[in-house]
Amino acid sequence: MLEIRQVTRRFGPNTAVRDVELKIEQGQMVGVIGRSGAGKSTLLRMINRLIDPSEGSIFFQGKEVSALKGAELRRWQRDCAMIFQQFNLVPRLDVLTNVLLGRLNHRSTVLNLLNMFTREERIQAIAALERLDIAQTALQRAGTLSGGQQQRVAIARALMQEPKVILADEPIASLDPLNAKVVMDSLADINAREGITVITNLHTLDTARAYCNRIVGMAKGAVVFDGPPEALTSEAVRTIYGGEEGAELSEAITSTSINVPAPQPARKSTGQAQPALAAV
Ligand SMILES: Nc1ncnc2c1ncn2[C@@H]1O[C@H](COP(=O)(O)OP(=O)(O)OP(=O)(O)O)[C@@H](O)[C@H]1O
């Protein structure tokens, strides 16, 4: 269980995240939605400790990860893989090496300095690429791949970390609808088959509805909605995205047009939160 307790993050006079309180059971697939600037990325970055909270604390399996330092912090960052909108691969290195880089935090500094990976690690990396259906690109330089392929390499690299949680910060924002679907399908499959918790920021409502069994809506740094997709009524959508009372908020504004035939049946939803709406 991941617990975010009364977390606030300020940047100078601006409060990016305000008093956020969330409990996320292992194995949930959580979509964080909200307008640009709502605080979604800041929240994810605090979980992974790329930035620290100004106030509050974050716990994982009873341990306060917001207080970890040194080797323990690196261990947490290994357990909590991060995927970014811009993929963050090393473009001049081949795909296989990029995936193997996911093992760095598992290994001794000497092995890392020598840049030596074992046969088992290479086999594991190829298997991760096969799973993402891009093993044929293993020896290509990562920078030569399409955006969709690069994001799949980034997911394979995350899998090499053998994480307990995957944090995906707008993983499909730079992709066309077809590649966006492939990437979201991959994340959903990893969540369903391995039971890895996935927390993903999404700009778009339809994607969150289609793939996530829990949706957290943020506005002005605060959580203003927390519940299953079915509870995301037009009133809830207005609370998250803003809009005039009574006016229809077009889902097109918040759509990527990923063509998903129908909402998928609820995945494992351990300890799903009850829908909750709060005023912004
Ligand atoms: N490093 C920073 N320094 C100063 N202000 C920041 C920093 N990072 C974020 N902010 C501010 O915090 C607020 C929340 O930003 P954040 O990126 O978390 O929002 P977001 O919901 O992820 O938006 P987007 O979808 O556009 O990425 C914004 O007002 C942003 O300008």
Answer whether residue 22 is part of any domain.
Answer: yes
Q: What is the DSSP string of 94-131?
A: BHHHHHHGGGGGGS-HHHHHHT---HHHHHHHHHHHHH
22 CA distance to ligand 1 centroid (A)? 19
Answer whether residue 279 is part of any domain.
Answer: no
Mutate-to-test residue for ligand 1 from 10, 42, 204, highest number of ligand atoms within 8 A of CB: 42
Q: What is the DSSP string of 182-239?
A: HHHHHHHHHHHHH--EEEEE-S-HHHHHHH-SEEEEEETTEEEEEE-GGG--HHHHHH
Q: What are phi and psi of 100, to 5 degrees?
A: -60, -25
Answer whether residue 124 is part of any domain.
Answer: yes
Mutate-to-test residue for ligand 1 from 15, 40, 256, highest number of ligand atoms within 8 A of CB: 40
159 CA distance to ligand 1 centroid (A)? 27
CATH number at residue 183: 3.40.50.300
> Of 60, 58, 56, which is closest to residue 8 (Cα–Cα)?
56
10 CA distance to ligand 1 centroid (A)? 10
Q: Which domain holds residue 119?
A: 2-230+238-269
Q: Whose CA is nearest to atom 29 of ligand 1?
A: 37
pLDDT in tens, the chain (280 residues): 999 999 999 999 999 999 999 999 999 999 999 999 999 999 999 999 999 999 999 999 999 999 999 989 999 999 999 999 989 999 999 999 999 988 876 666 656 556 678 888 899 999 999 999 999 999 999 999 999 999 999 999 999 999 999 999 999 998 999 999 999 999 999 999 999 999 999 988 999 999 999 999 999 999 999 999 999 998 999 999 986 554 455 554 455 445 444 444 444 444 343 344 443 3
CA distances from 272 to 10, 236, 240 (A): 29, 18, 20
Q: What is the domain count for the chain?
A: 1
Answer whether residue 45 is part of any domain.
Answer: yes
Answer whether residue 207 is part of any domain.
Answer: yes
Q: Whose CA is nearest to atom 28 of ligand 1?
A: 37
Answer whether residue 38 is part of any domain.
Answer: yes
Answer whether residue 215 is part of any domain.
Answer: yes
- Classify 36 as helix, strand or coil: coil
134 CA distance to ligand 1 centroid (A)? 33
Alpha-carbon span 17 to 7, nearest angstrom: 7
201 CA distance to ligand 1 centroid (A)? 13
ipTM score of complex: 0.95
Within 6 A (CB) of ligand 1 lie: 11, 14, 16, 34, 36-42
